[in-house]
Amino acid sequence: MAAQSSPHPRPSIGRRKIAEALFKVLGLCSLAIGVGTLVLLFGALLVEGVTRIDWQFLMSFPSRHAAKAGILPAWVGSTLIMLVTAVVGVPLGVAAAIYLEEYARRTWMTELIEVTVTNLAGVPSIIYGLLALGLFVYILGLGENILVAGLTLALLILPVVIVTTREAIRAIPVEIREAAYALGATKWQTVAHHVLPYSAAGILTGIILALSRAIGETAPIVTIGALTFIAFLPPAPITTHPPYVSFDWLLSPFTVMPIQMFGWVSRPGEDFASNAAAAGVLLVGMTLAMNGVAIYLRYRMRKQVTW
Partner 1 sequence: MSKSVVAMQEAIRIKKPDAKAEAAARRRARQRRERAIEGGLFVAALISVATTVTIIAVLLSESVGFFRTVPLTDFFTDTLWTPLFADPHYGILPLLAGTLVTSAVGLLVAIPLGTVAAIYLSEFSSPRLREVMKPTLELLGAIPTVVYGYFALIVVTPALQRLWPDLPGFNMLGPGIVIGIMIMPFVISLSEDAMRAVPMVLREGSYAMGATRLQTAWRVVVPAATSGLVAAYVLGISRAVGETMVVAIAAGQNPNLTWNPLEPAATITAYIVQVALGDLPHGSIGYQSIFAAGLVLAVLTFAFNILGHMMRKRFREVY
Task: Using the minimum distance from each CB to partner 1, give the nearer residue, 155 or 249.
Answer: 155
129 is an interface residue for partner 1 by CB under 8 A: yes
199 is an interface residue for partner 1 by CB under 8 A: no
CA distance 71 to 280: 11
> For residue 264, which amino acid is it?
W
Among 53, 83, 171, 222, binds partner 1 (CB under 8 A): 222
99 is an interface residue for partner 1 by CB under 8 A: yes
Task: Using the minimum distance from each CB to partner 1, give the nearer residue, 4 or 30.
Answer: 30
Task: Using the minimum distance from each CB to partner 1, give the nearer residue, 80 or 132.
Answer: 132
205 is an interface residue for partner 1 by CB under 8 A: no
33 is an interface residue for partner 1 by CB under 8 A: yes
Q: How far is the CB of 245 from partner 1 (least distance, A)?
A: 26
> For residue 36, which amino acid is it?
G
**Alpha helix (H) residue ranges in 50-71:** 55-58
Judge whether 153 and 220 are in contact, CB under 8 Å.
yes
Judge whether 153 and 89 are in contact, CB under 8 Å.
yes
116 is an interface residue for partner 1 by CB under 8 A: yes
The beta-carbon contacts of 264-267 under 8 Å, at least 24 apart in sequence, are 264/69, 264/228
Task: Using the minimum distance from each CB to partner 1, give the nearer residue, 43 or 235.
Answer: 43
Among 146, 157, 209, 211, binds partner 1 (CB under 8 A): 209
305 is an interface residue for partner 1 by CB under 8 A: no
Among 80, 90, 98, 211, binds partner 1 (CB under 8 A): 98
87 is an interface residue for partner 1 by CB under 8 A: no
Peptide bond preceding 124 in cis form (omega within 30 of 0): no
Angle 72-98/196-215 helices, nearest 10 degrees? Answer: 140
162 is an interface residue for partner 1 by CB under 8 A: yes
The beta-carbon contacts of 224-227 under 8 Å, at least 24 apart in sequence, are 224/129, 224/132, 224/133, 224/136, 224/137, 224/144, 224/148, 224/149, 224/152, 225/137, 225/144, 225/253, 226/77, 226/144, 226/149, 226/254, 226/255, 226/256, 226/259, 227/253, 227/254, 227/255, 227/259
172 is an interface residue for partner 1 by CB under 8 A: no
Residues 175 to 194 in contact with partner 1, rule: CB under 8 A:
184, 186-188
Residues 131 to 160 in contact with partner 1, rule: CB under 8 A:
131, 133-135, 138-139, 155, 158-159
Task: Using the minimum distance from each CB to partner 1, give the nearer residue, 173 or 292.
Answer: 292
